[in-house]
Chains A and B, each alone.
Chain A
Amino acid sequence: MVILIATVRIPFVYGGAEILAEGLRRVLIKAGHRVEIVAIPFKPYPPQRILDQMLASKLLDLTEAAGMRVDRLIGLKFPAYLIPHPRKVIWMIHQHRQAYDLWRHPLSDLDKDAHGEQVRAAIQCADRELNALTGHVFAISQNVADRLRTYCGVDARRLYHPPEEASLFYRAPAEDFLYFPSRINPLKRQDLILEALALTRSKVRVCFSGPASEPAFERRCQALVRAAGLAGRVEWLGMVSSEAKRDLYARSLGVVFPPVDEDYGYITLEAMLARKPVVTCQDSGGPLEFVADHQTGIVAEPRPAALAEAMDELWEDRPQAAQWGEAGRARYGDLDIGWDRVVENLLA
């Protein structure tokens, strides 16, 4: 088949969506198809600009390329999935959440703009076209699928996929630290973990890795470290290589990952592949589809005290932590998370 993957790229930002698109492309090529990624630039602000770019997407023509009929268009992100095509499949990474579950969220800017309501109405209206694609709408997680149903009345099926280089994760004997890999920003809630660390019984240590792009949030985190005297118990590694990351997973006691309503959460899966328990929160979204409370990790209330409890539990019962890690790996296997499944569904 001739396949195009339609996604969005924010200039100079390389993240989960790019990884997924690239992973999908490689897998489809291996399956013998001709595939290319079409990435259109997207600047979601000011809000009215979103309308421009929605229209721009609808004006593009991807029905044929280089004299070949394009057999399928796989849409991943808003507004690229609006590009018209007679045989379109959506594998929703996420919609424009600010028009849906993040409407009126403190961190969202859409509702605070004078034109926010109109733009939100337009986004919702445009997304209604997803209804016409019954049977061809998938989501990267149940979380995203649920949002589609709740806000758009669209029936989407969850379709998991493995993280990058899934086969390269491994386990090593646990050392004295918990690992929190993630972009340093408010939605990931590194600050919550710092507040929790101040309340733990044991001298729990946490290693943070990941790029920082929000100076205000960074300052808040530094302030929390100082206030609770945590300097000796936290480490900020910044951006690390893939090997270093896998090494950190391997040697950690467990993984801490308490984001707010995450779409999917490669981190959870990477932890499971590394056979490590995961501490997450009840409102973390994606990770909840994978972490079984007190079986493969802990699902705590999003309060510092509850997270402190959880971290202490891991810290103080090493055999249990290890056993939960193994259970996590088994669960990964049970969930049948593989690219074959993805290809099968997207091309059906």
Chain B
Amino acid sequence: MLKINWFSPLLPARSGIANYAMQVLPVLAKNHEVVLWTDQDQVSPEVHEIARVARYDPAAPPWREINNGSVSIYHLGNQPDFHAGIWRVCMQQSGIVVLHDLCLHDFFYMLSVRHGKGRDGYFSAMERWYGPEGRQNAEVFCAGGLSAEYMAQKFPLTREAARNALGVVTHSIRVLEELNELPACPVAALDLAYAAAPEPRYRTWLALRDGAPYPPYRLIVLGYLNRNRRLGPLLEALAGMREREQFRLEICGQLWDESHIREQIERLGLSAIASLHGYLSDDQVEQKLSAAHLAINLRYPSMGEASGSQLQSWDYGLPTLVTSTKWYASLPRDAAAFVRPEHEIADIQAHLRAFLADPRAFRTMGARGRQSLKNHDPENYADAMTRFATEALRLAPRVSALALARKIGNDLTNWLPAEASPYLLERVSKEIYTIFVEGRRG
């Protein structure tokens, strides 16, 4: 049994990770002692029912209490509001780092700019992992000469997030490899946890869907809608189709730039087709999803996240349009419809026409999506996570040994000439190893 210090956004925080936590924590709390650490002002009552919630001040974490636990699990993502405090604790005490986004350039940039520490932290990180080239690009970026999207893809800074970690959990191992950001510590590749609704409930949703009149077919876009959700191209695609009258587009969720979208809808003459619903309650979301026929879950560029909304759409047996990039590109070919980033509008239109031509094929696609949720069972997820944490703890002394060796090695470069190094380095390594890990006994 582990005593887990869990650091993540918690409801009512508007973060997909808070929802994910609600999937995983009940399982974890069954078999382990869990303390939920938060720097939020509010935490929903339903969270309190799962495990003890403890507050911390990121400027002065209560180490006495934290050190009662055996391992800390830190959840990182791009939003500094949700993750800055967690990162601060994570930097001081090694633990398991769960990377919900893999491209974290935005996070590290905003962290240093927003939290008043100046840009030095960000520049150091860029130089640490990408050398002088990284630093130069960082400077150009700060001067406005490069886009954030470019920086995020070219300099993801994933390894920065893993710097102190005992182990890293990712939901998109292939992406991590493609980004070339595999950290030095052990890595666990897990399928993002999602507890599928029980069959009876699912059938209710299907019944609701079939019960409502169609056409028009209801397209749904759901979640925290930034620019990378591709609303623009979607609206353009619809506007360019004669068949657009057969569809209704429900845009549900907090919009990055509501007035801009409204303006675009009007300009494109889609006012009768597209509607904005803003942030919805859970009940309202359920209503919308159970009435929808096709979910549009485009992301470009992706930050390497695994999408909870995708799994949610599958929960409702919804077919989805996804962008063929990063994690989404790894989804089963028969459980989603793929849109190429460089042919967005054309591909969207092609899929929409295909849908009209054969709605049942898309329905099957949705059913297959729901089936693949088996791989995302929170029980398996929690079990894999804790086994990984246990193993990482076992290897933890090596991390400390390496850290000390690195520090001493650095100091030695000030006075130890290369010729004399092999002897002393070997001598010191042996002793450090003995002190931290094991020795020459037996």
Binding site for B on A (CB under 8 A): 48, 51-52, 54-55, 58-59, 115, 117-119, 121-122, 125-126, 128-129
Contact = CB atoms under 8 A, between A and B. Distances in A.
A48 B419 CA distance: 12
12 contacts: A48-B420, A48-B424, A51-B423, A55-B412, A55-B424, A115-B423, A119-B420, A121-B419, A121-B420, A122-B415, A122-B420, A125-B415
A233 B414 CA distance: 56
B416 interface: yes
Contact of A51 (B408, B411, B420): B420
A133 to B, nearest CB: 15
A125 B416 contact: yes
A129 B415 CA distance: 9
Interface string B414-440: 111101100110011000000000000
B417 A122 contact: yes
Which of B414, B417, B419, B427 has the most chain A CB atoms closer than 10 A to its own CB? Answer: B417
B415 A118 contact: no
A48 B420 CA distance: 8
Nearest to B416: A122
Nearest to B428: A55
A121 B417 contact: yes
Contact of A118 (B414, B420, B428): B420
A234 B424 CA distance: 50
A59 B424 CA distance: 14
B425 to A, nearest CB: 10
A68 to B, nearest CB: 25
Given A52-B424, A55-B424, A55-B428, A118 B412 contact: no
Contact of B419 (A54, A117, A128): A117
A52 B427 contact: yes
Contacts of B414: 125, 129
Contacts of A59: 408
Contacts of B427: 52
B419 A126 contact: no
A121 B412 CA distance: 13
Interface of B: 408, 411-412, 414-417, 419-420, 423-424, 427-428
Which of A58, A118, A121, A129 has the most chain B CB atoms closer than 10 A to its own CB? Answer: A118
A54 B424 CA distance: 10
Contacts of A52: 424, 427
A331 B328 CA distance: 92
Contacts of B423: 48, 51, 115, 118
B413 to A, nearest CB: 10
A52 B420 CA distance: 11
A205 B416 CA distance: 52
Nearest to B421: A118
Which of A52, A55, A59, A119 has the most chain B CB atoms closer than 10 A to its own CB? Answer: A55
Given A117-B419, A122-B417, 5 more contacts: A54-B415, A55-B424, A118-B417, A125-B417, A126-B415
Nearest to B431: A52
A contact face: mostly helix, strand, loop, or mixed: helix
Contacts of A117: 419
Contacts of B408: 55, 59
Contacts of B419: 117-118, 121
B contact face: mostly helix, strand, loop, or mixed: helix
Contacts of B415: 54, 122, 125-126, 128-129
A117 B423 CA distance: 13
B424 A51 contact: yes
A96 B414 CA distance: 19
A63 B303 CA distance: 46
A117 B418 CA distance: 12
Contacts of B412: 55
A55 B420 CA distance: 12
Contacts of A54: 415
A54 B427 CA distance: 13
A118 B411 CA distance: 18
Contacts of B428: 55
B431 to A, nearest CB: 9
A59 B432 CA distance: 13
Contacts of A48: 420, 423-424
Contacts of A126: 415
A128 B415 CA distance: 8
A85 to B, nearest CB: 15
Nearest to A82: B415
B41 to A, nearest CB: 39
A64 B411 CA distance: 21
Contacts of B420: 48, 51, 115, 118-119, 121-122
A60 to B, nearest CB: 13
Nearest to A119: B420
Top 8 closest A-B pairs, CB basis? A118-B420, A126-B415, A118-B419, A121-B417, A125-B415, A122-B420, A51-B424, A48-B423
Contacts of A58: 411
A122 B414 CA distance: 10
A262 B420 CA distance: 30
A115 B420 CA distance: 8
A154 to B, nearest CB: 15
A8 to B, nearest CB: 18
B130 to A, nearest CB: 31
A295 B415 CA distance: 46
B374 to A, nearest CB: 55
B337 to A, nearest CB: 62
A127 to B, nearest CB: 9
B407 to A, nearest CB: 10
Nearest to A121: B417
B415 to A, nearest CB: 4
A122 B412 CA distance: 10
A300 to B, nearest CB: 42
B430 to A, nearest CB: 12
A52 B423 CA distance: 10
Nearest to B412: A55
Contacts of B417: 118, 121-122, 125
A210 B419 CA distance: 41
Nearest to A84: B411
Contacts of A129: 414-415
A128 B414 CA distance: 10
Which of B411, B420, B423 has the most chain A CB atoms closer than 10 A to its own CB? Answer: B420
A117 B417 CA distance: 10
Nearest to A115: B423
A86 to B, nearest CB: 16
Contacts of B424: 48, 51-52, 55
Contacts of A118: 417, 419-420, 423
A59 B414 CA distance: 14
A336 B427 CA distance: 48
A321 B179 CA distance: 88
A55 B413 CA distance: 12
Contacts of B411: 58
Contacts of A128: 415
A29 B416 CA distance: 37
A327 B73 CA distance: 81
